[in-house]
Structure 1
Amino acid sequence: MGKRKAEATPVPGRYPVDMGEAELLRDLDRPSGWLLSMAGVPQSYVDLADPTYLDFEYVRLMADVIDALAEGPLDAVHVGAGACTLPRYIAATRPGSRHIVVEPDAALVELVREQLDLRSVPRLKVRVADGRTAVSGLRDASADLFVLDAFSGATMPVELATGEYMGDIARVLKDDGTLLVNIADGKGLAFARRVVATVRGTFPHVALLAEPGILRGRRFGNLIVAASSAPLPLRELTRKAAGGLTQARCVCEEDLEKFVAGAAPIRDGDRVITPVPPPELFE
């Protein structure tokens, strides 16, 4: 399902974009697979012939949550979509879905449009703006799904992790809409705990998905927060996390309370130290 032939072959190489330099690398194991990196940090992987193939582990966790939602097309907002891996996946698995993609780098959008066949994704609109400005202009209760996967290099912008921004996201989501947040953190998970505390300050139903080694702070990696004003399908998420290729855990309810461990929510203006991955992580 969702297989197609790209209209043109991308050209590997380095490309100047508004926020630095992007690089396109061909996957030698998958002829139609491409990796997009920014400043040496892998940002997105797409298979142009099969958008249902997801290479990054954290993206597969996000897809597990999306697959557990009620059947049918979705109205989705993506803040920081890179090469639009998830919009492609949702378009293939839930035909008729509509997407608003928010990306502040206009040159990067054009690169993805021309080299990675972005025009092939139906019902997708791109808004070149920062995450806060773009979301403030979205209609109330207009989205079934909100994906927050925005990074500057390898760190999440703090202004997209505050209680004020979570409140604006809640405004845009429908009553049963779902928020997905990608966090990167390492030893101690201090930033992840604060982000989870922030999300819990807005949404009554929250779960955290990650590999056990990352949850224990043993290595730097990605953690996925799922949140909603309506109950989450926790049993299915737990089963999918444990049975997937990533062998992840779903932390929720009392266990999530223990994970937060009294961490303070992030507010606009707070001084927050964002985690930086070890230099050898992307070597």
Structure 2
Amino acid sequence: MAEVEMVPDEHGGVTVMRDGHPQSHVDVDDPEHLVFEYVQHMAAVLDACFPGPDPIGVTHVGGAGLTLPRWVHATRPGSPQIVLEPDEALTATVRAELPLPRGHRIRVRPQLGRPGVEALKDTSAHAVVVDAFDAGRVPADLQTSEFFGHVARVLRPDGVLVVNSPDEPGWRHLADVVAGLRGAFAHTALVAMRDVLKGRRYGNAVLVAAHRTLDLDEIRRQVARWPFPSGVLAGAELTRRTASGRALTDGGSRPSPPAPDPGAWRVR
């Protein structure tokens, strides 16, 4: 059984740890307080694509502390949300120690992400958010062309897929994931901190994919509202940076690269 630990900080928030890996940061009193930079990027994308406060239907692949579902509820009250989180013990601990707000419409299903998405109805979601880790790595079956095809079916015509996809400098893995997204969606973009964009270190990239045209100027404006210096890649520049990619398939996928030991990592 996974070890779950709640680590409070001096600002009133709590970091949810699972087997020593930070999974989420939660501020129960202020759900709009987002600490992890990639969660801020995901929120920025949702704000750009679905200006509030109207409710939106969101499916989250990966739940942990339910940080982004709490944010969606706070910014778009009444939003129906499905969270696919297979770790029932983790969910029970989070519910007990970090209770959800009153009136929420967040439904946590104890399911793995892939079969959970496959079971969803066509055009049933405004957004699908993939932020799932197992032993610190994104599972292989959540990065394939086949999986992205299921997400494309589940999304509404105006829907958006948002994926947390970490990689090392060089973006060898990330390029393959982007290639898979391009096979399922007409439009793609990438959001990351500037030092990750420049290839200086391992880090999280938030990938965005949609059937509809993405308002890149608005995404950039929303990203700029948050404190971390970040950038947005799309179009020819994203194509150039990921040109070596080959889409992953169910027969030949792999988990995302593990995070390096901070004491041993150096830029190649």
Deviations along 1:68-101, whole A, 9 cap, x unmatched?
1233110000000211101000100011101000
The yes-or-no answer on 1:278 pairing with 2:226 is no
Could you tell me which runs of 5 or more consecutive residues in structure 2 were left unpaired when the two chains were aligned.
264-268
Task: Tell me the CA shift for residue 37 of structure 1.
Answer: 1.0
Cα distance in structure 2, aligned partners of 1:139 and 1:242:
35
Structure 1, unmatched stretches of 5+, are 1-17
**2:49 is aligned with 1:60:** no
List aligned pairs for 1:111-260, cutoff 5 A: 111-118=93-100, 120=102, 122-260=104-242
Displacement over 4 Å in runs of 4+:
none
What is the deviation of 1:280?
A: 2.2
**Where does residue 36 of structure 1 map in the other structure?**
16
Contact 2:45–2:223, Cα closer than 8 Å, also in 1? no
Maintained 8 Å contact 2:80/2:106: yes
Distance 1:241 1:76 in 2: 20
Identify which of structures 1 and 2 has the higher relative contact order when contacts are C-alpha pairs closer than 8 Å and 6+ apart.
2
Please tell me the residue identity of whatever aligns with 1:58. Answer: Y
Q: Any conservation in 2 of the 1:191–1:273 contact (CA below 8 Å)?
A: no
- Secondary structure (helix, strand or coil) at the match of 2:71 reads helix
Q: CA offsets, 1:7-30, max 9 Å, x none?
A: xxxxxxxxxxx4x111101112x1
Percent identity of paired positions between Structure 1 and Structure 2: 40
- State the Cα distance separating 1:172 from its structure 2 match: 0.7
The offset of 1:217, in angstroms, is 2.3
User: What TM-score does the superposition give when structure 1 sets the normalisation length?
Assistant: 0.89
Does the CA contact (< 8 Å) of 1:100 and 1:127 recur in 2? yes
- Please give the root-mean-square deviation of Cα atoms over the aligned residues, in Å: 1.6
**Residues 209-252 of structure 1: CA distance to partner in whole angstroms, max 9, x if unpaired?**
01121123211110000111011111111233345311111000
CA deviation digits over 1:87-128, x for unaligned, max 9?
000100011101000011111111111111036460111110
Name the counterpart of 2:266. Answer: none
TM-superposed deviation, 1:274: 3.2
- Structure 2 equivalent of residue 70 of structure 1: 50
CA contact (8 A) 1:186 1:221 kept: yes
User: TM-score, normalized by length of structure 2?
Assistant: 0.93
Q: CA deviation at 1:259?
A: 1.4
What amino acid is aligned across from residue 280 of structure 1 in structure 2? P
- For 1:121 and 1:133, the matched residues in 2 are separated by 28
In structure 1, what is the Cα distance between the partners aligned to 2:178 and 2:103? 32
Displacement of 1:192: 0.9
Q: Indicate yes or no: 2:17 matched with 1:46.
A: no
Mapped to 1, the partners of 2:225 and 2:80 lie a distance apart of 29
Residue of structure 2 equivalent to 1:11: none
